[in-house]
Structure 1
Amino acid sequence: MDLLTSINDAIWNPMAYFALAVGLFFTVMTGWVQFRRFPDMIRQILSKKNCPDGISPAQALLLTLASRVGVGNIAGVATAIAAGGPGALLWMIICALLGSASSYAETVLAQVFKRRINGEHRGGMPFYIEHGLKLKWLAVTVSLIAMLGYGFVFPGVQSNNIASSVETAFNIPPLVSAIGITALMAFVIIGGTKRIVGAAQIMVPVMAVGYIVAALVIVVANYDQIVPTIALIVSSAFGTHQVFGGIVGAAVAWGVRRAVFSNVAGVGEGTYGAAAASVSHPSKQGLVQAFSIYIDTVVVCFATGLMIVMTGSYNVFAADGTALVEGVPGLAAGAAYTQQAISTVMPGVGPGFVAVALFFFAFTTLVAFFYIAKTNLVYLTGKDDNPVLDWALKLGMLGITFYGGIVSADVMWAAGDIGYGTLGWINMLCLLALSAVVYKVTSDYDKQCKAGLDPVFDPTKLGIAGADFWVEEASEIAANQAELTAKSGRRE
């Protein structure tokens, strides 16, 4: 555990500031696209898909939200507060506001360099690294790391948190929970991509709305604490609070660390679901995915943090182990903080409600993880139908889902952080290397919108090589238009 902690610190301490810098870079380069195009985000989410072989922008949003909205929104927020104090919440929000531009950038690239494989839109990190940067070896390396991470490591974090919260709420042994989660996962992932998308489409809105309503109840019940709580969060974030001033560095590091773990902006996780969307221009889905960061962190994560801080249901410890605040002595950081916060207003309800919410959050994440792992397997093999490897992936994911439910939470969190951090460094460096493509695509979208057009992407006109999917699309559209013109001429 000491070794894992040292590796994590080496990866994440500098990455906290790097992630903020990358988000700021894309915010400025795109002309603050995540703010100025906010109304457009809503329009794109509500739009219908344009062709039968992709999924709609809204379905892609729900698929990526299924992976983003997970244990990081409940347990992750609590660990950030425990290590960085209430100020970590503000840095989570800042990271999300800037990170939404990073999410926009990686989604644009996922759309530009995606491919059609067996009638499905497939894309993501390895696709734009290979076809955009022309670095096949790095694409294969990233794809292998992502497949192993999302298929054989990260699912353990989700199942571990489900099992621990269920044990706290209902006194059900972790072994029983692990068996149940694994059985449900088997039912979903064996059903294929359509069942995966269908599960996300049903569960994500239900779980998010239910959880936010519960948070509002807590806030309303403690309305007199709203102003003092906000003041505490702000003063702690900038080191002016008398108790938390000495850990402002931890507030930044842990706020960003848990924001990235939760919304994975810049890590590349959302690129796989985003690439599956059927849109006429990459920027359209980029805006949709930028909006998903707001939902995950600005809304859901902040709702969790506000509940915890407002009710005093947290402990904070300095790096040397010194207790700065002990609002709930002896209570370990994690979902238990949120359970305690809800119980202050609804006695006896907190543990059960959070356990159920965490189950939905984490289970939908597990479902999305399989889709991501499968997309990377498709990239590595070059085909969508490989029964032996497909079953190896399914059995491996089911195995880690079961194992994660019965092992130490510390080990699973540490392993998950190392995997996310590694992918984050690689992906953000690749995003910067491909920033010229993002700029061209964004400028093209803005120009067409200004002319009153419904933007349509043509990579050839922009001088973007490697966008084979879109070249094929343009050829098909041109052929169809020529055929219609010919038919019209014959009728005349």
Structure 2
Amino acid sequence: MSFIESVIGEINNVLWSYVLIVALIGLGLWFTIKTKFVQFRYLPEMFRVLFDKRTMSAKGKKGTSSFQAFAISAASRVGTGNLAGVASAIALGGPGAIFWMWIIALLGSATAFVESTLAQVYKVPEKNQYRGGPAYYMEKGLNKRWLGIVFAITITFTYGLVFNAVQSNTISLAFNSQFDFGKPYMAVILVALTAMVIFGGLKSIANVTQFIVPIMAILYILIAVYVLIVNITAVPDLISLIFANAFGIREVAGGGFGAAIMMGIKRGLFSNEAGMGSAPNAAATAEVTHPAKQGLIQSLGVFFDTILICSATGFILISAGGYEGSKLDGIQLTQNAFEFHIGDWASIFISVAIFLFAYSSILGNYYYGENNIGYIRESKVGLFIYRLAVLGMVVFGTIASFDLVWALADLSMAIMALINLYAITKLFKIANRVLQDYNRQRKEGKDPVFYRDVLDNQDGIEFWDREESDHERD
């Protein structure tokens, strides 16, 4: 281990062992209670809103459709975290890590509702689209532009650069292991494909991810479900093993209990992003009649990511065995597990799937950085330099070590999450008042429409004016 990896590892140990665990679980529980369990009460409503005709299309309007915004955030969620991240969590934290991934998802979905609702409330209308996210609600809701700039720099570094290195690293490992495909060649391919899309703008990203993510997710889930059905008799034992390792006396005595919690929360956050402040950037771009609608949709994304996809991967990995003491990295463990269950062709499928998942994640990650660079300052030169830096980190990721890129990811997302969690806690009353307004209108049998005058404090809200909103929604 290099000196840099050692230093980053020590910092991560402090942040994740003491600070982030308390913040993520504690605030997730607090948001859940204060919203009266919004993520469970409104689960059917989430599907209704996602496929509602008024949210499926944004033609002739400024923003992306609600479904496209969901796809952009899903592009970042569905991918490396579900396949490589789950594998590394189990390898280092044992089967019990899956339980803690569930906990962070169930509680985090309330956090996701709050941050994405706030992103809609404080979004800024521009000529052809909306912009918004944590940097915007920090400036306009908290009146702290300096904090918005700090967050904008952090998310640009985290997603646009570090997380994209993680994505390309995973693709490189998968193809090198399966096909003995040279890392330099993969770097060239990824740079070419990424450049073609990121120089096309937001609509291009939305169109590509809207096509790739649902198809690949469905294919992956179908294969995972097939494996589970074939091994259905083992599922009760798998669930029992997960719970036993999450709370078992042996794990507590041996220190594995702490590892299960830390790895479950680390990889759970990387995968579903609830509370990290990334998804609100996509949520703010959506054309919806009420901020709570997009909050519900983004909350659904957390369930979709962790409860469905991560669980399926975890069951398959645990039932295949061989993860304890393995020298294989992340995605290679997943490839071996699928090959164990359904034959040699399965590891080839995983290689192709991770390529498409991770590639779509690169596109989603890129947009988060672009959005926040625009927040700091509109600059064509700055944006061009950022695009080159993204391509550079894609190359770096293909050749860097697995441990280094994941250590950098853990550090940067910890800092980013702490800044965002502070902001949404301070602004929670706004999000909760918006939810109450939505709930009132639904009880009256209406399709909710939001106006900012229902809030006592309207400072910093540039959209949702009654006259302007009526015009926009005709």
What range is the shorter-chain TM-score in?
A: over 0.9
**Is 2:14 aligned against 1:5?**
no
**Is 2:467 aligned against 1:475?**
yes
Conservation of the 8 A alpha-carbon contact between 1:308 and 1:337: yes
State the secondary structure of the residue aligned to 1:469: coil
State the secondary structure of the residue aligned to 1:331: coil
- Report the CA distance shift for 1:476/1:405 in structure 2 as closer, same or farther (over 3 A): same
State the secondary structure of the residue aligned to 1:419: helix
Q: How does 1:250-329 map to 2 (within 5 A)?
A: 250-315=259-324, 326=325
Q: Which amino acid in 2 is paired with 1:476?
A: E
1:153 Cα shift?
A: 2.2
**Is 2:138 aligned against 1:129?**
yes
Tell me which of 45, 48, 54 is aligned to 1:40.
45
Q: Which amino acid in 2 is paired with 1:149?
A: T
User: What is the Cα-based RMSD across aligned positions, in Å?
Assistant: 1.8
Q: Which moved more, 1:28-37 or 1:141-150?
A: 141-150
Tell me which of 200, 203, 215 is aligned to 1:206.
215
State the secondary structure of the residue aligned to 1:405: helix
**Is 2:356 aligned against 1:364?**
no
Q: How does 1:309-388 map to 2 (within 5 A)?
A: 309-315=318-324, 326=325, 330-381=326-377, 383=378, 386-388=379-381
Conservation of the 8 A alpha-carbon contact between 1:114 and 1:467: no
For 1:288 and 1:152, locate their aligned partners in 2 and report how far apart those are by CA, in whole Å: 27
The aligned counterpart of 2:421 is 428
The aligned counterpart of 2:447 is 454
- Report the CA distance shift for 1:345/1:376 in structure 2 as closer, same or farther (over 3 A): same
Q: Which amino acid in 2 is paired with 1:24?
A: L
Q: Which amino acid in 2 is paired with 1:451?
A: E
**Is 2:222 aligned against 1:217?**
no
The aligned counterpart of 1:411 is 404
- Report the CA distance shift for 1:233/1:182 in structure 2 as closer, same or farther (over 3 A): same
Offset from partner CA, 1:433-459 (integer Å, 9 cap, x none) = 111111111111111111222211112
Count of matched residue positions in the alignment of Structure 1 and Structure 2: 465
For 2:404 and 2:253, locate their aligned partners in 1 and report how far apart those are by CA, in whole Å: 28
For 2:410 and 2:221, locate their aligned partners in 1 and report how far apart those are by CA, in whole Å: 26
Tell me which of 229, 245, 249 is aligned to 2:238.
229
Give the TM-score taking structure 2 as reference length.
0.94
State the secondary structure of the residue aligned to 1:287: helix
For 1:24 and 1:149, locate their aligned partners in 2 and report how far apart those are by CA, in whole Å: 26
Offset from partner CA, 1:303-334 (integer Å, 9 cap, x none) = 1101000121411xxxxxxxxxx5xxx43241
The aligned counterpart of 1:26 is 31
Structure showing greater Rg: 1
1:199 Cα shift?
A: 0.7
For 2:359 and 2:385, locate their aligned partners in 1 and report how far apart those are by CA, in whole Å: 20
For 2:296 and 2:308, locate their aligned partners in 1 and report how far apart those are by CA, in whole Å: 17
- Report the CA distance shift for 1:435/1:8 in structure 2 as closer, same or farther (over 3 A): same
Tell me which of 68, 82, 95 is aligned to 2:91.
82
Conservation of the 8 A alpha-carbon contact between 1:90 and 1:233: yes
State the secondary structure of the residue aligned to 2:130: strand
- Report the CA distance shift for 1:256/1:377 in structure 2 as closer, same or farther (over 3 A): same
For 1:11 and 1:111, locate their aligned partners in 2 and report how far apart those are by CA, in whole Å: 30
Conservation of the 8 A alpha-carbon contact between 1:221 and 1:345: no
Offset from partner CA, 1:220-255 (integer Å, 9 cap, x none) = 222221111111011111124679864112111111
The aligned counterpart of 1:16 is 21
For 2:251 and 2:404, locate their aligned partners in 1 and report how far apart those are by CA, in whole Å: 34
State the secondary structure of the residue aligned to 1:74: helix
Q: Which amino acid in 1 is paired with 2:12?
A: N
The aligned counterpart of 1:102 is 111
Q: In percent, how many aligned pairs have the same letter?
A: 36
Offset from partner CA, 1:67-87 (integer Å, 9 cap, x none) = 111211111111111121101
Give the TM-score taking structure 1 as reference length.
0.91
Q: Structure 2 stretches of 5 or more lacking a match? A: none
Conservation of the 8 A alpha-carbon contact between 1:239 and 1:245: no
